[in-house]
């Protein structure tokens, strides 16, 4: 029998996706765990745009419980688990690679078949499960994909470890040099993390977003320039700052129509363009062949987290070097998740990162 720290309820509340964009709070069985597994009481789970796309575009068959930016407390540990015990505060990655396949040998972990298996569930087909009161963490995730939260670090802060990892991975691929002109298109939570990370490299960082509050944050986090693309001639401004050339690197941190084309327009010949938010098969991009071939631009993608950067992303978040908790605009109980998803899909001036707190009662 698993060792448990508290009497566990037979049922729990979870936000269940039922298809056609519908998600609602239901009572479902509390997950049971097996050997080598953990049961975690979810305290905070961030709402991520990859999950939003799955809901909005019906990308996966229902029923599922989404949510993967999860922080909580271990309440039960299966036989054979020695590194974690009930009462430990933890964050967990829902994807962990095998480390022994063709792609893992080349450190392209997100293409590993084991990595593509989701190892955390609240029930139904595993889908992250963080939008529930409890989650089951499977054995291969327990072995390599769980990090303890240090004392003094809030669950809200800790929930950023996974999304920060994805950004650190992307920045490692981009590898900007000091003095490079870097443009970050979109200053949502991910775009702002990119701004923080790019500034740390010594690059000259320019940010764009239609919301003034996000532009203010970008400047606070070190962006040299922050522009509203609706009222600014972005190619002209970037050329002005870069000796007439254009950006050396453009990070496309949002998925609004036309952003990739805008990335080409603001970049110089020979520039690199990272696509980070283009995760749906339904998204289409149209640029001229000459803008890539003749002008020698490199366009590449980066998706999900890297196990190689797990410790570093945890350190950046837990140490406070990246002030990620400043990005949270809304903290909602699970019962209000539909409103949180709607707000995340249709952001307003005052909205930024939205987190769900499943143990919190409706106010």
CA distance 58 to 75: 33
Please report the pLDDT score of residue 165 as a whole number.
98
3-state secondary structure of 349: coil
* pLDDT > 70? residue 74: yes
CA distance 260 to 249: 13
Distance from chain centroid for Cα 272: 22
* pLDDT > 60? residue 38: yes
Please report the pLDDT score of residue 6 as a whole number.
67
CA distance 156 to 170: 23
Average pLDDT, the chain: 96
Class of domain 165-301: alpha beta
Which class for 16: exposed (0-12), middle (13-18), buried (19 or more C-beta within 10 A)?
Answer: buried
pLDDT in tens, 327-343: 999 999 999 999 999 99
Please report the pLDDT score of residue 59 as a whole number.
84
Least confident of 4-13, 114-123, 127-136, 159-168: 4-13
Question: 3-160+322-357: CATH homologous superfamily?
Answer: Medium-chain alcohol dehydrogenases, catalytic domain (3.90.180.10)
Please report the pLDDT score of residue 3 as a whole number.
63
CA distance 5 to 230: 54
Alpha-carbon dihedral of residues 179, 291, 239, 249, nearest 10 degrees? Answer: -20
Looking at the chain, how many residues does it have? 363
Query: Per the structure block, which two tokens stand in for 53?
Result: 């796309």
The domain spans of the chain are 3-160+322-357, 165-301
Please report the pLDDT score of residue 49 as a whole number.
87
pLDDT in tens, 16-34: 999 988 999 999 999 999 9
pTM here? Answer: 0.96
Alpha-carbon dihedral of residues 280, 336, 192, 130, nearest 10 degrees? Answer: -70
Average pLDDT over residues 68-84: 98
pLDDT in tens, 279-297: 888 889 999 999 999 999 9
Average pLDDT over residues 288-314: 97
| Neighbour count for residue 50 (Cβ, 10 Å) | 17
Average pLDDT over residues 103-118: 98
Cβ–Cβ under 8 Å, residues 196 and 173 = no
């Amino acid at each position: 029998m698993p060792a448990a720290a508290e009497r566990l309820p037979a049922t729990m509340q979870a936000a269940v996706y039922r298809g056609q964009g519908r998600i609602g709070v239901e009572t479902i069985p509390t997950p049971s765990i097996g050997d080598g597994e953990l049961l975690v009481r979810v305290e905070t789970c961030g709402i991520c745009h990859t999950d939003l796309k799955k809901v909005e575009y019906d990308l996966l068959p229902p029923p599922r419980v989404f949510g993967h930016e999860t922080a909580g407390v271990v309440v039960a540990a299966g036989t054979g688990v020695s590194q974690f015990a009930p009462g430990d505060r933890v964050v967990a990655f829902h994807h962990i690679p095998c480390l022994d396949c063709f792609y893992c040998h080349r450190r392209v972990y997100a293409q590993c078949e084991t990595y593509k298996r989701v190892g955390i569930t609240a029930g139904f087909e595993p889908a992250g499960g963080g939008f529930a009161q409890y989650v089951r963490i499977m054995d291969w995730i327990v072995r390599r994909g769980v990090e303890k939260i240090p004392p003094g670090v809030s669950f809200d802060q800790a929930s950023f470890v996974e999304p920060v990892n994805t950004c650190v991975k992307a920045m490692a691929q981009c590898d900007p040099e000091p003095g490079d002109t870097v443009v970050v298109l979109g200053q949502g939570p991910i775009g702002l993390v990119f701004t923080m990370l790019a500034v740390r490299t010594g690059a000259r960082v320019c940010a764009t977003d239609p919301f003034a509050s996000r532009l203010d944050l970008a400047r606070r986090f070190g962006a040299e320039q922050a522009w509203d693309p609706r009222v600014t001639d972005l190619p002209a401004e970037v050329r002005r700052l870069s000796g007439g050339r254009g950006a050396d690197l453009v990070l496309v941190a949002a998925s609004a129509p036309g952003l990739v084309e805008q990335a080409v327009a603001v970049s110089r010949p020979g520039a690199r363009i990272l696509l980070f938010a283009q995760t749906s098969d339904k998204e289409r991009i149209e640029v001229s062949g000459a803008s890539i071939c003749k002008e020698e631009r490199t366009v590449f993608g980066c998706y999900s987290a890297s196990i190689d950067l797990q410790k570093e992303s945890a350190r950046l978040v837990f140490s406070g070097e990246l002030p990620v908790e400043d990005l949270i605009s809304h903290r909602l109980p699970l019962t209000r998740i539909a409103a949180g998803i709607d707000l995340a899909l249709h952001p307003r001036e005052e909205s930024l990162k939205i987190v769900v707190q499943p143990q919190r009662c409706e106010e």
